[in-house]
Structure 1
Amino acid sequence: MSVVGAGWLDDPGVQAWRTVWLAITVQALPFLLLGTALSGAINAFVPADLFTKVLPERPALAVPVAGAAGVVLPGCECASVPVANSLIRRGVTPAAAFAFLLSAPAINPIVLTATAVAFPNNPAMVAARLLASLATAAVMGWLWLWLGKEKWLRPAVAHQGHQRGHSRGNEFRQGFQHDFLNAAGFLVLGSMAAATFSVAVPRSVLDTFSGSAWLSVLFLAALAVVLAVCSEADAFVAASLTGFSPTARLAFMVVGPMVDLKLIALQAGTFGRGFAWRFSTVTTVVAVAVSVLVGGALL
């Protein structure tokens, strides 16, 4: 039995799967720690009414403001999910929190700098990524205001400010522990699914789709979902796909930080499966459409 087990583990396909899975998980874990730590800090130390005071009272105006505020979080999508959950628990309208969730991984300075480095001869790609990501986040926030229903969201386990008899440090520890353990399990599951696809699909499939303008956009958008590359690294992956059009590569970079397998899993664990599937599906459609429009205008 030991020989059979060892042979199975030494199979090249299994080794490749394990490498990809570990790479995705290890790459995302520091930012998940950052996000859950920030989430715990918000719950323990930030006054409950601060965010409602800072954001405009009208939800329609709060959405683009929250989306633009995503530039302050230098992390990937794994960090934005627990932070967005904390914002909702602190009284921020879900539409604004979701706009922040979508924009933060795509427009922060680290990601934009990495994009500029990956496309040194195409500065318009940085502007296109910024505009397309902000537009997608704002549209999704407004769509939630228009069509979203609270029943699609899992009831949040709110930390109602500072509790008597508990230190703020203890509240931070409890909030951090709860959010991290809950999100980490879904991160592992999403990473496993992404690794399975990455290993199972042959590279020859890429060449099949690169010849068609529309199919190339759709294919790279789908590839971004299943590869689940961290937003700090996805520009270099997009730059390596030289057989595809600039617009298709833009779609890869806009869709990836907003919808991928590990992010869907994290959203399902945080907000509920019903929300995750609805939100991720519509976000993909909007992100692709906006990428095509912005790419056609700037690239």
Structure 2
Amino acid sequence: MTRARTFRSTLLVFAALALWAQPSFADGVVLRSVDLPLRDRNALRAEIVRARADSPTAFERVAGARDLAIKLDARRHGRYATITPHLKRLGPTALLPMLDALAFDGPTRAGMSDKAWLSLRVGLLEAVGSLRDPRAVPVLEAVLDQMSVELEVTRAAAEALGRIGSDRAVSKLVLASRSHGDRQRAIVQGMADCRRLAMARHIASWLQRNPDEAMALDLVNAMGSVGNAWAWKASSAHASEQDATRALAARTLVHAFVRYDGAVREAAAKALLVVDHASAGALVERRKERARSVSLREQLETLSRRLGENPIRER
């Protein structure tokens, strides 16, 4: 029985690969399969074919996300409904079905409102990112290369790459962040989930160039998340980079606190509390000694007290 089942699965794989070898490719909900580099495309579609033969139920469950998006959209109250929690509950076996839906063979859009369609695509991207599986990187890279998708889709792809956090994912985020306008801001906001020293260095270098206040605010918020002390406790993939990342975050955020005022300064103060690195207090004291204005000196003194009484710190 087992041998017969294995033989049948092998036949299904070869049959599907033969079909996919034709010039015509199916479309995913965000990409066409031809948007992927040939090598990545062939490797991924072979895995998808095998997974479909071995675990058809996983594909059926992911396919149900379309109807769920329509159902939740009918009673949404915000910009769009979220189906991400449902997809996350499907677990690791849903990875390849979700990548299939994103890039190869997605459900039809017929009968879906614009918001339901957005909900489906963002939900798939967010759920893929939560699995932190490097096999998703080629698909997510290709999504970031799409110039015509909604900003929510771009941000979700950036967040997913950040969560995966591989060297390749970080390199793509750094490159993509050189975009412009609202798309650039969406990518920067998505970088916040990338807890890698290389990402902290990228953000620090950017803030040293003193960008405008809107971008500085996004970068400060991203740096606070990249250096988040509590998030690092839950992340073990790159634990050896934790202290250096959080130390750099502290230095960068103190610089931003001094360089900017208003919303950026307050965001930097809050981010320093979240990063909670041991060096922050001394950094603030040195800046306070060199402060030329009474107002800045007083605000640094207030920041010093806030750091000393940090309510977020584990006691």
* Shared fold (TM-score, shorter chain, > 0.5): no
Which structure shows the higher helix fraction?
1
* TM-score for both structures, normalised by structure 2: 0.28
Structure scoring higher RCO (CA < 8 A, sep ≥ 6) equals 1
TM-score by length of 1: 0.29
